[in-house]
Chain A
């Protein structure tokens, strides 16, 4: 069974450009989580969805960040415009149901120049 799939795996962009990160959760999982990991702040939850509905977006840093989940098998995290301080590893995770184990994808390494 395929795990969580993320694309791209690496992204280098210039400040001011739009960045779109993609995630496909494990089939049958109905909760999806977006995390950001930096050396300084560690692993932080940005937003999570349950049954495609955003439940908690309190971790989204500012209006430049937006996330969507148009269906059960796809989610995007968009940064517009990107800034150098957005450079981080962005992980997507999914779980089967509330209170179940979260499985992480391989992450997207984002570098904003």
Chain B
């Protein structure tokens, strides 16, 4: 079992709808969680980080964390074609710089 699991997709969402991306993790020592976006042929870029249970909002993006269920999600509101990319979920343990990534979910926004 991988430490960080994601549905590989592809996930297709109509433009303007809400895209929901999910991630589960197995290491209960994980303290910090990150969502990276990676366009095809490009490098990953950080879009959200979350450290506490609950929701964290940044513009059209909302990250949700439930440590009891070991579950992290990313919601993208008002999806745009430019949101089409692979989204990588990552976890990090306290005091450790190492990021553990899931294999990513490919999201396609349909105009």
Listed in ascending order, the chain A residues whose CB lies under 8 Å from chain B are 31, 33, 41-45, 48, 50, 55-56, 91, 95, 98-99, 101-107
Q: Does the CB pair B102–A42 fall under 8 Å?
A: yes
Neighbouring A residues of B22 by C-beta, 8 Å: none
Given contacts A41-B103, A43-B44, 19 further A-B contacts (CB under 8 A): A33-B97, A42-B101, A42-B104, A43-B101, A43-B104, A45-B100, A48-B98, A50-B97, A55-B97, A95-B97, A98-B95, A99-B97, A101-B46, A101-B49, A103-B46, A104-B44, A104-B45, A105-B43, A106-B43
Which A residues lie within 8 Å of B32 (CB)? 99
How many chain B residues sit at the interface, stated as a range, is 10 to 19
Cβ-neighbour of B97 out of A98, A103, A105 (below 8 A): A98
By a CB distance below 8 angstroms, the chain A residues around B97 are 31, 33, 48, 50, 55, 95, 98-99
Contact sample, A vs B, 25 pairs, CB 8 Å cutoff: A31-B97, A33-B97, A42-B88, A42-B103, A42-B104, A43-B44, A43-B88, A43-B104, A45-B98, A45-B99, A45-B100, A48-B98, A55-B97, A56-B98, A91-B43, A98-B97, A99-B92, A101-B46, A102-B46, A103-B46, A104-B44, A104-B45, A106-B42, A106-B43, A107-B43
Total inter-chain residue pairs, C-beta < 8 Å: 42
Residue pair A104, B43 in contact (C-beta under 8 Å): yes
Give the A-binding residues of B (Cβ under 8 A). Answer: 32, 42-46, 49, 88, 92, 95, 97-104
Q: Residue on A with the closest CB to B100? A: A45
Complex contacts, A98 vs chain B, CB 8 Å: 95, 97
Q: Which residue of B lies closest to A43 (CB)?
A: B101
The residues of B that contact A105 with a CB separation of less than 8 Å are: 43
